[in-house]
Amino acid sequence: MVLMYVLPKVKAVTIIALVSLSIGILVLIGWALHLLPFYSEKLNYVLVMFNTALGFCLLGIALVFTQFQVKKYNTIVLRALALLIFLTGALSLSQDLFHFNMGFDQLFMIDLVAIAHKYPFPGRMSGITAVCFVLLGLAFFGIVAKSQLTRIISQYMLHAVTGITFIAAIGYLYGLASFNNLYVLNLAVPAMILFFLISVIATLINPTIGITGLFTGELIGATVVRRLSVLIVLMIILFGVFRVESRRFQFFSLDVTVSLLVICCFLAGIGVILQTANWLNRIDKKRHEAEEEIKVMNEQLEKRVEDRTAELLASVEELKKSEENYRSLIEQASDAVYVHDFKGVFTDVNASMCKMTGYSRKELMKLNIIDLIEPEQLKTDPLLLGALGIGKSIIKQRQLVHKNGQLFDVEVNLKTIADNQMLVIARDITERKKAENVLIRSEANLKIIMDTTDTAYVLMDRQLKVMTFNPSAVKFLTDQFKHVPVKGALLADYFPKERYPKFIMYTQAVLKGGNISYEMNFPKPDGSVHWYNARLFPITNDKNEIFGLMMALSDITVTKNSEESLKNANMRIQEHINNVKETAWKQSHLIRGPLATLKGSIDMLEIDPSNDKILEYIKGVLERLDEVIVELSDDVSDPSL
């Protein structure tokens, strides 16, 4: 009993299994080497027989297998061992019961010592030993069975072995002659001890069944049983040892010994009663203290309940106010709010729902949500009534039917709430759907424009990875860089390295919100130069966050060439103007001189009209003036101007 209480189940079973196996093996070796006598006159009891030792080896192995997980093959091995143990006892016992000798006793080992002493049954175990093997074999056969009744029967067979060995121990301690003189009831001390330990420890495999449950429980009855049984067993052993030793050394006569045993039993009983009374008094005192503590705790609990009740009442009032506010918010909400059960029947609606559908509250409360949903949509997208878990929600679009039969689009947010109901918030998105359709058409038109325009467009993210581009961009990159663009590629992979630093500077400014416009040129193999106008501007999302930039390239070669021609023409006009100015100066300088001379000569001719020298002089001046005019005419008609 002490082993059951002190040692853990697995450890105790393993220890006893090893002890049984070890002792059995040692005895077998002793018999094999003829080191053990069969009968001891000095000790006056039969020692362990060979077949008995073999049975203990089988018991040790069987105990080990009880600790394995219950599986098909483990159970088969355990029951095979149990059958061998049963046969070991049954074959020996049957010889005593039916008075015959089948030779089983000396099948494995011939007992020469017993033959020499003319023992009637050489090598045969005692009848009580055989009974213990039979009971243990049957017990181990059903100890791990699934049937509760089978395990109960097995447990009580183990208890029977415990009782037999306990009685045998009392016989040895108190010198009952019949226990030693009768072969059938004779049980060797080593076998008795092993049977007792094995039978007790094996009951721990099913600790809640039978008498073992009284020792392994945690209730006060189990505690009392453990305490008293330990003391009683201890007294029996001590008194038995006292009797044996007093008889051995002849301290007292038989009558005095019996009287002393009675007195010792009385004193021990008084001691057990007093010790148990003190222990129960301590328990009662602890119980009384616990009751007092419970009273105090109960008073504190009642006070806390009162306080908590007051808090709950206050919470209820606040909840009512919150519910009123909640109801007011729902009624004033611009979105339609309604509640229906898992069958689709409306249980509550707000004013916006009535306004959106055209039905009154009373009318809606008589309808089912299915009555408001466009029938064709229900076929492709049926309702999720009760499919969502508590607290989970989904958002989807529905097409509802107005009371006047007109269809309109709504976006609904469905959420499962308590009492098998669903709360739905619906918003009319008819206008938004129209805007989306317009936007889609606009995007389609924009795509057409992008695909047909001569301007190259490349959309990049913040890391300058290409997101999308139009055919003109493909043509530009293929013609200029010999590279076909792909989505996800970095622009740095094919952008000219000598121009990339300046381009990075521009893109950083654009990603901060700026707009950049500049011109660049690329030489062609034929010696001509193509010019492009590059524009960089940021691209934002709905939250006005810059997520990338757009690069637009327009071919301005014709414009640049026109500008160059215009510039050259302006230069030629300026040179012509300068020549005109020079000609005018010449006219002013070369013509005014001869004119002044003619004017003076005419005055002289008026005084003397017959003066031939003056006429000759005038003639020479006129010829010179004619040459100057011709020269000026040639300058004005210069083809280079």
Determine phi and psi for 512, rounding to 5 degrees: -95, 0
Q: Residue 312's CB: how many other CB atoms inside 10 A? A: 12
Q: Are 372 and 364 in contact (CB under 8 A)?
A: no
- Shared domain for 70 and 176, answered yes or no, is yes
Tell whether 286 is covered by a domain: no
- Shared domain for 86 and 203, answered yes or no, is yes
Q: Which pair of tokens denotes residue 141? A: 């056969």
- Shared domain for 17 and 108, answered yes or no, is yes
Tell whether 240 is covered by a domain: no
Q: What share of the chain is helix, strand, coil (3-state, %, to 5)?
A: 65, 15, 25
Instruction: Tell me the residue range of the domain where 619 lies.
Output: 562-636
- Shared domain for 626 and 609, answered yes or no, is yes
The DSSP call for residue 526 is: T
CATH number at residue 367: 3.30.450.20
Tell whether 137 is covered by a domain: yes
pLDDT at 153: 92
Query: What's the rounded Cα separation, in Å, for the pair 240 and 76?
Result: 43
- Shared domain for 430 and 484, answered yes or no, is no
Q: Which pair of tokens denotes residue 95? A: 């010889």
- Shared domain for 484 and 538, answered yes or no, is yes
**What crossing angle do the helices spanning 254-332 and 220-248 adopt, rounded to 10°?**
160
Q: Residue 359's CB: how many other CB atoms inside 10 A? A: 20
Q: Hey, what's the torsion of the CAs at 153, 154, 159, 160, to 10 degrees?
A: 80
Q: Which pair of tokens denotes residue 410? A: 């709504």
Last residue of a domain, one of 534, 555, 576: 555
Tell me how many domains the chain contains.
Answer: 4
Q: Which pair of tokens denotes residue 434? A: 């129209």
Of these ranges, 77-81, 172-176, 444-448, the one predicted with the greatest mean pLDDT is: 77-81
- Shared domain for 551 and 568, answered yes or no, is no
Tell whether 274 is covered by a domain: no
CA atoms within 13 A on the CB side of 432: 7
- Shared domain for 526 and 581, answered yes or no, is no
Beta pairing partners, 415: 393, 423
Query: What's the rounded Cα separation, in Å, for the pair 81 and 68?
Result: 14
pLDDT in tens, 240-262: 666 666 666 565 555 555 666 66
DSSP 384-408: -TT-SPBT-EEEEEEEEE-TTS-EE
pLDDT: is 382 or 391 the higher one?
A: 382
172-175: Cβ within 8 A, 24+ apart: 172/45, 172/240, 173/236, 173/237, 173/239, 173/240, 173/241, 173/243, 173/244, 174/240, 174/243, 175/243, 175/244, 175/247
pLDDT in tens, 575-632: 766 666 666 666 556 565 666 666 666 666 666 666 667 667 777 767 776 676 666 6
Q: Report how far apart, in Å, the C-alpha atoms of 234 and of each of 7, 227, 239, 257 are.
A: 18, 11, 9, 19
- Shared domain for 473 and 514, answered yes or no, is yes
**Number of separate helices (H) and strands (E) present in the chain:** 21, 12
Beta pairing partners, 46: 39
Query: What's the rounded Cα separation, in Å, for the pair 457 and 486?
Result: 14
Query: What's the rounded Cα separation, in Å, for the pair 350 and 275?
Result: 78
Confidence class for position 157, pLDDT limits 50, 70, 90: very high
- Shared domain for 503 and 630, answered yes or no, is no
Tell whether 263 is covered by a domain: no
Q: Are 470 and 457 in contact (CB under 8 A)?
A: yes
Last residue of a domain, one of 183, 208, 233: 208
pLDDT in tens, 311-335: 888 877 777 776 676 677 677 777 8
pLDDT: is 4 or 187 the higher one?
A: 187
Q: Residue 251's CB: how many other CB atoms inside 10 A? A: 12
Q: Which pair of tokens denotes residue 220? A: 């006060």
When the pLDDT of each residue in the chain is averaged and rounded to a whole number, the result is 75
Q: Are 154 and 143 in contact (CB under 8 A)?
A: yes
**What crossing angle do the helices spanning 50-65 and 72-98 adopt, rounded to 10°?**
150
Amino acid (1-letter code) at residue 471: P
Least confident range of 85-99, 162-176, 400-414, 461-475:
162-176
Tell whether 377 is covered by a domain: yes
pTM of the model: 0.42
Tell whether 223 is covered by a domain: no
Last residue of a domain, one of 187, 208, 229: 208
At residue 466, the 3 state secondary structure works out as strand
Of these ranges, 272-286, 301-315, 431-445, the one predicted with the greatest mean pLDDT is: 301-315
Tell whether 289 is covered by a domain: no
pLDDT in tens, 84-124: 989 988 888 888 788 777 777 777 766 665 555 566 677 77
pLDDT in tens, 453-487: 778 888 888 888 888 888 888 888 777 777 777 88
Q: Which positions ≥6 away from 336 have C-beta within 8 Å?
A: 349, 350, 352, 353, 355, 356, 357, 410, 425, 426, 427, 428
Residues 479-504 as b/e (b if ≥16 CB within 10 A, e otherwise) read ebeeeebeeeeebeeebeeeeeeebe
- Please name the residue that has the structure tokens 């009535």: 354
- Shared domain for 392 and 481, answered yes or no, is no
pLDDT at 359: 93
pLDDT at 510: 86
pLDDT in tens, 512-565: 888 888 888 878 777 778 888 888 889 887 778 888 888 888 888 777 777 666
pLDDT: is 132 or 587 the higher one?
A: 132
- Shared domain for 73 and 48, answered yes or no, is yes
- Please name the residue that has the structure tokens 């450890």: 11
Beta pairing partners, 289: none
Q: Are 195 and 161 in contact (CB under 8 A)?
A: yes
For the segment 56-73, the average pLDDT, to the nearest whole number, is 80
Q: Which positions ≥6 away from 187 have C-beta within 8 Å?
A: 126, 128, 129, 132, 164, 165, 168, 179, 195
